[in-house]
Chains A and B, each alone.
Chain A
Amino acid sequence: MSDFNPTILAFCCNWCSYAGADLAGVSRLQMPPNVHVIRVMCSASVKPEYVFKALSQGIDGVLVLGCHIGDCHYLTGNHRTAKRFPLAQKILGEIGLDERRLRLDWVSAAEGEKFQQVITEFVAEIKKLGPNPLREVRP
């Protein structure tokens, strides 16, 4: 377990969380190298289907990071995000996958430190949860 190196996917929105991640980089805030970012325009465009796909194929954890509620560049985009992912988490739980493998959080363009904190926390959490049990089930 101590040499378990999780593979984690993160969806970041162009206007807030991706910019926040950039800021963390510019500020040289160090964090574990397990998270791979896919850039989207808005967190609301992230389909829960991507999360289900990733987790059922062995990815250890998925992060969805959007703008704070009220600050979405696309007005109320992140309102839908805020509804979809708690439901996706519940469904993961009903199947028996740990809900904590999916995390939704809000990071603004000015929050480089929050980005670092979220990444560090999430990687630590996934390390504790262990490898995705579905890694072995993949055909």
Chain B
Amino acid sequence: MPRIGVFICHCGHNIAATVDVEKVVQFARTLPNVVFSSHNLYSCSEEGLAAIRKGIEENKLDRVVVAACTPRTHEPLFRRNCERAGVNKYLFEFVNIREHCSWIHAKEPEAATKKAMNLVAMGVAKAALLQPQTEGESNVIPVALVIGGGIAGLAAASALVSQGIETHIVEKESALGGMLREVHVIGPDMVDSRTLIDEYVKALERSPKAHIHLSSKISDLSGFIGNFEATISDGRCDEKVKVGTIIVATGGRELVPASGEFGYGSLTNVITQLELERRLARGEIPKSAVFIQCVGCRQPGREFCSRICCNASIKNAIRMLRAEPDASVSLLHRDIMSYGTAAERAYREASERGVNFIRFGLDRPPVVRQDGNRLTVAVFDENLEQELRIDTDLVVLATPIVPVEDVKELAKLLKVPIDRHGFFLEAHVKLRPVEFATEGIFICGSARWPSSVSECIAQGLAAATKASIPIREGRVIIEPITAYSDPEKCIACGNCVLACPYEAIEIVLFDGKRKAKVNEAKCKGCGNCVAACHNDAMEQKGFDTRQLGAMIDALIKSALEVSQ
């Protein structure tokens, strides 16, 4: 027989001003299995906690119900307090009679008191059926995996390696550096990209902790935080590695314009930004150029802004004009995204050097035509409200960064979400950046969203810091709110397998029969499987169907029957 103790909190005036605490204490004593009930001025104070411990000891309580504020703040505190007094942490139930009662029914003290009694009855009914639990623990393999050797991946890997963490870097090309290798000069400070890449690469090559896999891809992946197994394939042989955490830094690629778009592919000297980079690196500075921004983005089908293209075009325009001051450069745009002081300075410099910034609208894109051995660009300037005609040697199309082609495969392997463009979705933009909802996997760089070099580096470092935490701690705590299936009842109908957002449930053979099995380390305790299960074979610790059923019965008894 459970021995429940109920402690009603005054919370100073916060609860006591509206709820008749003494009445609730008396009522609690009448509830089944309650052997002791009392009240505290401030249950969370040292005095209050000590009083609870005393109540437990003197009355040999084995379950504790505290009716006070919200469990979202103080549940851990009261749980630890129970543990101190020898009661399992999970034989504790928190009833909210402040945020959910006294504070919101301030003008109805009688009704609020009645509701508090109902809520306490529900809490007591649940407490009677609670089971002691132990927190699970899972080990963490002290190795990290970085998928992608571009600037974000390089920054992440270097940060990990400098902490002494063994790291595998898997890069699909034959050299590290990613898209940055094709961009020779990084704006707005005109940093040489080769130097930047080499700095990172040399640091990695020097370190015994770094394992660089070039011309390689991840062909298989399984496991969960602390215990992933990845297969690295280089086309000839496969290497299986066991890692604790994973960072995705697969970057993006420049969108190639559609054939014929602004004359691409059909007219000569209509090129993309990266093709311009190559020409500039070779010393081929054109005498004139027209940049067309937002080619293939900020339009239906691909509504996003790729953030870096304006600055890239401005940077290249400045490079051209520094080398060839008399060059004629126009930049056709729908907005200039030169955010931050340095980029804004560059915008100004470009303007001062004579770059012609012309705004056009989505509904009236510029038209590019061949004119002898030159090109003509006709554009309707929205500010002047005038059609302009520009003769030029070169048209540069600034296209967005889009995800790499095989991103869907990788997302499937990792079981992480991608949006409809193929960019990876992080857990929460503000509360959980650079990490996936799936624990142990992190995301940085343009794979997440088109990012500048400095943003990629910052994100890479952030991801590395987060990825190093489980490795440093050496273990992951599994809160005992996971689901489990009773093999006696389970029919293996597969409902739970389909309902689980984490693919944490499998049908396995148990004594020769098909049964559902929950992977405790993958289970996040959402309870979706419990709702999907027809015969309560699947239960969630701490939220057992019988416990919730008893809460409903208690409410009915307290609210409906007493009033008759």
Contact = CB atoms under 8 A, between A and B. Distances in A.
Q: Do chains A and B touch in the complex (CB under 8 A)?
A: yes
A53 B549 CA distance: 8
Contacts of B98: 25
Contact of B552 (A22, A25, A30, A57): A57
B99 A26 contact: yes
A131 B139 CA distance: 55
A89 B410 CA distance: 40
Interface in A35-88: 36-42, 44-50, 53-54, 57-59, 72-77, 80, 84
Given A36-B122, A38-B122, A25 B99 contact: yes
Interface in B386-443: 417, 437
B115 A36 contact: yes
Nearest to A132: B560
Contacts of A45: 526-528, 530-531, 540, 543
Contacts of B104: 24-25, 28-31, 33, 116
A115 to B, nearest CB: 9
Contacts of A33: 101, 104-105, 108, 111-112, 114-115
A75 B528 CA distance: 11
B304 interface: no
Interface in B89-133: 96, 98-101, 103-108, 111-112, 114-115, 118-119, 122
A108 interface: no
Interface residues of A, number: 47
B531 A47 contact: yes
B556 A40 contact: no
Given A45-B527, A45-B540, A74-B524, A59 B106 contact: no
B92 to A, nearest CB: 14
A19 interface: yes
Nearest to B96: A37
A27 to B, nearest CB: 9
A53 B551 CA distance: 12
Interface residues of B, number: 48
B555 A36 contact: yes
Nearest to A44: B528
Interface in A9-34: 9, 14, 18-19, 21-22, 24-26, 28-34
B563 to A, nearest CB: 8
Contacts of A90: none
B151 interface: no
B502 interface: yes
Contacts of B502: 74-75
A135 interface: yes
B501 interface: yes
B555 A9 contact: yes
Nearest to B553: A57
Contacts of B101: 33
A126 B548 CA distance: 23
B501 A57 contact: no
B527 A41 contact: yes
Contacts of A34: 115
Interface string B524-549: 11111011100000001001010011
B559 interface: yes
Contacts of B525: 41
Contacts of A36: 115, 118-119, 122, 555, 559
Contacts of B531: 44-48, 80, 84
Given A30-B106, A57-B556, A59-B560, 17 more contacts: A25-B99, A28-B106, A33-B105, A37-B96, A39-B96, A42-B527, A45-B530, A46-B531, A49-B545, A50-B548, A59-B556, A75-B501, A77-B501, A77-B526, A77-B528, A80-B528, A80-B532
Interface of B: 70-72, 96, 98-101, 103-108, 111-112, 114-115, 118-119, 122, 417, 437, 481, 499, 501-502, 524-528, 530-532, 540, 543, 545, 548-549, 551-553, 555-556, 559-560, 563
Nearest 5 A-B pairs (CB), nearest first? A45-B527, A25-B99, A74-B526, A75-B501, A42-B526
29 contacts: A7-B555, A21-B100, A22-B72, A28-B103, A30-B104, A31-B104, A33-B112, A36-B559, A37-B96, A40-B527, A41-B481, A41-B540, A41-B543, A42-B527, A42-B528, A44-B526, A44-B527, A45-B531, A45-B540, A46-B531, A47-B530, A47-B545, A59-B552, A75-B417, A75-B437, A75-B501, A76-B501, A77-B501, A77-B526
